[in-house]
Amino acid sequence: MRNKSIAVLTSGGDAPGMNAAIRAVVRTAIFHGLKVLGVRKGYEGLIKGEMFEMSLSSVADIIHRGGTMLQTARSPEFATPEGREKALNMMEVFGVQGLVVIGGDGSFRGARDLANMGIQVIGVPGTIDNDIPYCDRTIGFDTAVNTVVEAIGRIRDTTSSHNRANIIEVMGRNSGDISLYAGLAGGAESIIIPEVNASVEDVCKRIMHGRNRGKLHSIIILAEGVGGAFEMAKAIEGKISVETRVTILGHVQRGGSPSAFDRILASRLGAKAVELLLEGDTSKMTSQYRSEIGAFDFDEVLSAKKEFSGEIYSLARILSI
Ligand code: F6P
């Protein structure tokens, strides 16, 4: 792999810290004498040959920036065998022997397909959802949780002034991790996530319990994977006559300057990806798992189920009674 070329792309939904990961890939690769090409707009750019050579200064001044300087896309064409064949041909045209894919599990499925076609590919877990097995944290999750916690503080102010309840819907696709960790850190009275069955009766009980001991607000964090925020607000008003508002935080959770934690994680995982390529490794995801930086086969990652932290869930319930 030494004296050869690698490419780097970001794919799927962006996440704060992706730029720090790109910077780590580019600088580690150049440090080891590799040529690095940046691919614009994920697999879409790979198919179309939107690649350019990156230098040390291409990644200057980006470690603190949200989004991804390479841009990202979800590519329907790459999901087809013909699309992947085109991508492989384009990599041959540009003389690329290795690829780093920064993204989530959908992106890793594509990365594994490419690896099976004979190109060296390493994945770096970048998604706010924290829904990838064998990862303590995905890049972007910590920043997103902090964004939600800040929003909870603001919403609690107005909720208290009006003595209301507020349902805050947060992202996470099918994972409840953003809700769970932001709910614990923000002191939410109820956390409703796909991993645990919840009832409106339980939410109402917790609201009334708080009110009876003088609480002025009730914060309910609801994961988007559960949905039905407006229906739940109506149900609460119908059952206990507590005025209830809904806030959908949406893409505000995906932007912003990455936290120090995400910058450090991204730097370590990006560098590790290049080291693996240099060692001749392929079809693996780098990760921090049980506090150790390492790598797991795509096959293992893509067939496992993300562990759910029941302990955090129970703790949040106990501490918010
Ligand atoms: O996977 C990251 C994520 O932000 C999810 O939490 C959310 O469901 C989805 O992407 C939104 O995707 P889009 O930006 O395409 O609307």
DSSP string, 157-174: HHHHHHT-EEEEEE--TT
Three-state SS at 103: strand
Per CATH, 5-140+258-303 and 144-255 having the same topology is answered: yes
142 is catalytic: no
Regarding the beta carbon of 171 and ligand 1, being less than 6 Å apart is answered yes
Regarding the beta carbon of 13 and ligand 1, being less than 6 Å apart is answered yes
Domain boundaries, the chain: 5-140+258-303, 144-255
Residue nearest ligand 1's atom 13 by CA: 13
pTM: 0.97
CA-closest candidate to residue 269, choices 102, 111, 44, 56: 102
Query: DSSP letter at 139?
Result: B
As a whole number of angstroms, the distance between CA 135 and CA 137 comes to: 5
Residue nearest ligand 1's atom 10 by CA: 13
Domain 5-140+258-303 has CATH 3.40.50.450: yes
Q: Does 321 have pLDDT greater than 90?
A: no
Regarding the beta carbon of 254 and ligand 1, being less than 6 Å apart is answered yes
Task: Give percent of the chain above pLDDT 70.
Answer: 99
Residue nearest ligand 1's atom 8 by CA: 173
Instruction: Quote the tokens at residue 72.
Output: 């990202």
Q: Does 3 have pLDDT greater than 90?
A: no
Q: Which of 173, 174, 249, 252 to mutate to test the pocket of ligand 1 (most atoms within 8 A of CB)?
A: 173
Confidence of residue 74 (pLDDT cuts 50, 70, 90): confident
DSSP string for residues in 3-36: T-EEEEEE-SS--TTHHHHHHHHHHHHHHTT-EE
CATH assignment of 144-255?
A: 3.40.50.460
As a whole number of angstroms, the distance between CA 284 and CA 169 comes to: 33
List phi, psi (to 5°) of 214. Answer: 95, 10
Closest ligand 1 atom number to CA of residue 253: 4
Catalytic residue among 105, 129, 131, 262: 129
pLDDT of residue 61: 97
Task: Give percent of the chain above pLDDT 90.
Answer: 98
Query: DSSP letter at 59?
Result: G
CA distances from 146 to 178, 179, 224, 236 (A): 9, 11, 17, 28
290 within 8 A of 45, measured Cβ to Cβ:
no
Regarding the beta carbon of 68 and ligand 1, being less than 6 Å apart is answered no
Alpha helices in the chain (DSSP H): 18-31, 42-48, 81-93, 105-116, 141-162, 177-186, 200-212, 229-240, 260-278, 298-303, 310-319
Residue nearest ligand 1's atom 15 by CA: 13
How far, in Å, is the centroid of ligand 1 from the Cα of 71? 15
CA distances from 153 to 137, 149, 205, 256, 257 (A): 24, 6, 23, 18, 19
For 233-269, the pLDDT digits (tens) are: 999 999 999 999 999 999 999 999 999 999 999 999 9
Chain-wide mean pLDDT for the chain?
97
Residue that is written with structure tokens 């932290």 in the block: 309
Q: Does 1 have pLDDT greater than 80?
A: no
Q: Does 2 have pLDDT greater than 70?
A: no
Bridge partners (DSSP) of residue 167 are: 220, 246
As a whole number of angstroms, the distance between CA 5 and CA 237 comes to: 61
Chain centre to alpha carbon of residue 153: 22
